[in-house]
Amino acid sequence: MNGTYTKAVLALGSNLGERNETLTEAVADLVDPPEVRLLAVSPIVQTKAVGGPAGQPDFLNMVITVETSLTPQELLEHCQAVENKHHRVREVHWGPRTLDVDIITYGDFRSNDPTLTLPHPRAASRAFVLYPWSLIEPAATLDGERISTLATRASDFGDLAPFDGFGDFDGMPTAGAVEER
């Protein structure tokens, strides 16, 4: 750590359990240490699970931007500690998970290391990352292209839906967000 802060983009996803509550707590956990400061929070979007076993619940996804004095590796370990706190189960690759936290970018840092590839190798083709990110950073680019352009080109773009927090509730909510069970 050298006391200077670098901007990082983090993508959060959840498709098991109390998904909204998990994302809410995860954002708080991610920015809890003084080494990680919150810059912006996207809306939550709802998306079909991409890849992995069929019949998974829909994902809730969001993006936050932070500035951090952690190194890329330290930030990855921090993100994984937050995943583990939420009892993330890693048994099925691309299977349902209570919480997934990916580092999308860390400043201009580039890495081909499989344990931490930056920018995230699949971000440029995932509308569930690109679209919420574009809402908080409209001018951001990836691979030299506007992320909003990449979002509309991504094969899952049509699967995105706004998340209104009220599940199947038809009318005025009485108390907060209702989750499907």
Q: How many residues bind Mg ion (CB under 5 A)?
A: 2
Nearer to ligand ADP, 36 or 76 (CB): 76
* SS3 state of residue 85: helix
146 an active-site residue?
no
CB of 55 to ligand ADP, least distance (A): 18
Tokens coding 86? 């939420």
Closest CA to 88 of 107, 101, 103, 76: 101
Q: Which is nearer to Mg ion, 100 or 156 (CB)?
A: 100
Interatomic CA distance for residues 130 and 148, integer angstroms? 7
- Which of 88, 108, 113, 164 is an active site residue? 88
* Residues of span 75-114 touching Mg ion by CB under 5 A: 100, 102
* Catalytic residue list contains 153: no
Catalytic residue among 102, 126, 143, 181: 102
Residue 101 token pair: 């936290």
Is 40 within 8 Å of 27 (Cβ atoms)? no
32 is catalytic: no
Q: Could you tell me how many residues of this chain bind ligand ADP (CB under 6 A)?
A: 10
SS3 157: helix
Binding partner selected for residue 94 from ligand ADP, Mg ion, none, CB under the kind-specific 5 to 8 Å limit = ligand ADP
Contact 177, 166 (CB under 8 A): yes
Question: Judged by CB, which is closer to Mg ion: 102, or 137?
Answer: 102
Q: Is there binding between residue 87 and ligand ADP (CB under 6 A)?
A: no
Beta carbon of residue 114, minimum distance to ligand ADP (angstroms, whole number) = 6
Q: Are 123 and 50 in contact (CB under 8 A)?
A: no
The HSE-up count of residue 88 (CA atoms within 13 Å, CB side) is 20
Q: Which two tokens stand for residue 80?
A: 């994984």
Binding site for ligand ADP (CB under 6 A): 76, 94, 100, 102-103, 115-118, 120
- Which residues contact Mg ion by CB under 5 A? 100, 102
Question: Which residues carry out catalysis?
Answer: 88, 97, 100, 102
